[in-house]
Structure 1
Amino acid sequence: MAEPSWQETLRLRLAERNAKESAYASIIEQYRRLAQQTKLLKERNASLLRAVGSVKGNPSSSTVFVPGTGEDNPVRAAYMASLESQISSLRDELATVYKTQGQNAQRLLSMNETLREKEELSRIDSENLRKTRDEIAVLRRKVDQHAELMAEKDHTVQILHDEINTLQLELGQIEERNVTLTKDNAKLLQRWLDAKQAEANKMNEANQFYENMRSKHQAVLSWRDGSVEDGGDTGNPASQPSVSGSGKGGASDASHLSLTKNGIPSPAANPMELTPNG
């Protein structure tokens, strides 16, 4: 996980500060060593001057070292003390250098460990970044596909709306036609019913007329049979019955009727033929 921006800024500023402060570290170290060396030389010179002063105060003593003599040369002793002091200072400095070297080695190990951790974190971050980029690419492709799908759906919805509007118009026209056809059908049905009613009325009138004619014909036949039985002579024309006024038009009207075998009037008895539409 990446560090927050403020922590990164603080780290960069601290690194800049350390770089600025350590820019003259080598020069400062050289001046420190030079000052330490100067101090040692001053101490050695002071000891040598004290030794020379003691030699001048005691002229009987010799400044030349003679081997085998038990006397110590003051100059040599001062020089030896100065060398020992220098050796001690160098040993202290060497110890300081060893200590600093150990600290630097420890810091180097720590920095290597930190560098390894940072490299591992960097590798993990790179892997996460790669995965995130792949996911972003996949999501972008999905977004593009969804956008195309939505565009197609919008186009389909528009087409469906147009078709619905067209169908609604056609439905309105069909409903109007249905209403018109219903009205026409009702009119035609009423006309057909009226025609059938008129036809039935005419048939009833024809049947009634036929029954009347039949009853009159039967009456004529009955009357004729009675006359024959009373007169006994059917060959005399004078004895033929004459049709009275009450039977006027009976025989002639009956002659105009064409009867079938069963006594039902044929279609010729109907004065007109009617169609269902009248």
Structure 2
Amino acid sequence: MAATTLHRPDLLRDVVSMSWQEELRQRLVERNAEETVYAGIIEQYRRLAQQARLLNERNASLLRAVGSVQSQPGSASQAASGPDNPVRVAYVASLESQITALRDELAAVYKTQGQNAQRLLSMNETLREKEEQTRLNLEELRHAKDELERLRKVTKDHKEQIDEKNRALQVLIDEAQTHQLELSQIEQRNEVLKKDNAGLLQRWLDHMNDSANKMNHANAFYTELRTAGWASQPDSTATSELGDDIVDVTAEHLSASGKVERNGVPSSSPNMLQLNPNG
């Protein structure tokens, strides 16, 4: 702030000017307040001074008239009874001046009274407007209080609803977490079961492949015997026994794979078999 004031002298001058103007205004307000306190006393003193001036003028006129009468002793009785008596003239002039002053004062009083009446009417009108404005303000304040109370109730209801929804949301979150945990456990069990099933399937496929290989070897051996001419001796006992053994072995292996009919003959042709993990 100090750096800004140093770099801007016009701002400093404005601040100084405003400071002394404010001080002058404050002093004028204080002087007016002091003069207003003694305004009534000053006005009464002014009227008293004016009355004293009029009395002094009247006394001076009376003294001059008395002096002129005393300077003419021969005509004292005539002057006392005549209409042109200086004392009477001076007294009448003094009374007329007093009447004029009182009339002026009365006119000033009437004028002040009229101004006061006009001011009173204006103040009554202003008071009526202020009262009407106050009534409107009070009405608006009452409506504002009612609206504030209504909004407070609405806010309270909304807060309760939000709290209830938060509680319901927390319950749903807990349930979702529980279900997620159960789902993860189920997935873990499924993974374990998949691994176990894969191992069991692989072992079963290996077993079936071994059985199929044995059956294929037996069928190939039997086919070689028949092609070698052993089948041309149907009465040979060894050939019949060997054929029965081969058929029994083939039937045994085919029954293990579920492909043997009731008479022991394989349902499929004696071709070469080879199983894989896909079946």
The question of a shared fold, defined as TM-score above 0.5 by the shorter chain, is answered with yes
In structure 2, the residue matched to 1:274 is 256
Matched, 1:249 2:249: no
Could you tell me how far 1:50 is from its partner in structure 2? 1.1
Gaps of 5+ in 1: 1-13, 225-246, 258-264
Could you tell me how far 1:31 is from its partner in structure 2? 3.6
2:31 and 2:160 map into 1 onto residues whose CA distance is 56
Pairing 1:88-167 to 2, within 5 Å after superposition: 88-167=100-179
Computed over aligned residues only, the root mean square deviation of the Cα atoms, in angstroms, reads: 3.9
Question: Structure 1 residues 192, 17: closer, same or farther in 2, change over 3 A?
Answer: farther
In structure 2, the residue matched to 1:8 is none
Question: Structure 1 residues 89, 105: closer, same or farther in 2, change over 3 A?
Answer: same
Gaps of 5+ in 2: 1-27, 259-279
Matched, 1:180 2:202: no
In structure 2, the residue matched to 1:197 is 209
2:132 and 2:32 map into 1 onto residues whose CA distance is 26
Matched, 1:53 2:35: no
In structure 1, the residue matched to 2:232 is 219
1:187 and 1:207 map into 2 onto residues whose CA distance is 30
1:210 and 1:58 map into 2 onto residues whose CA distance is 202
1:80 and 1:101 map into 2 onto residues whose CA distance is 30
Could you tell me how far 1:45 is from its partner in structure 2? 1.6
In structure 2, the residue matched to 1:171 is 183
Q: Is the 8 A contact 1:55 1:74 kept in 2?
A: yes
Q: Is the 8 A contact 1:48 1:75 kept in 2?
A: yes
Q: Is the 8 A contact 1:47 1:78 kept in 2?
A: yes
Higher helix share: 2
In structure 1, the residue matched to 2:17 is none
State the SS of the aligned residue for 1:60: coil
1:176 and 1:80 map into 2 onto residues whose CA distance is 136
Q: Which has the higher contact order (CA 8 A, sep 6+)?
A: 1
In structure 2, the residue matched to 1:35 is 49
State the SS of the aligned residue for 1:270: helix
2:130 and 2:253 map into 1 onto residues whose CA distance is 123
Identical aligned residues as a percent: 56
Question: Structure 1 residues 113, 19: closer, same or farther in 2, change over 3 A?
Answer: farther
Q: Is the 8 A contact 1:51 1:74 kept in 2?
A: yes
Q: Is the 8 A contact 2:65 2:86 kept in 1?
A: yes
Q: Is the 8 A contact 2:70 2:76 kept in 1?
A: no
Q: Is the 8 A contact 1:48 1:79 kept in 2?
A: yes
Deviation readout 1:128-176 (Å, 9 max, x if unpaired): 3333333433443344344434434443444344334333332322222
TM-score, normalized by length of structure 1? 0.64
Query: How many pairs align?
Result: 229
Rg larger for? 1
Could you tell me how far 1:87 is from its partner in structure 2? 0.5
Deviation readout 1:97-140 (Å, 9 max, x if unpaired): 11111211221222223223322332333333333333433443
Matched, 1:84 2:96: yes
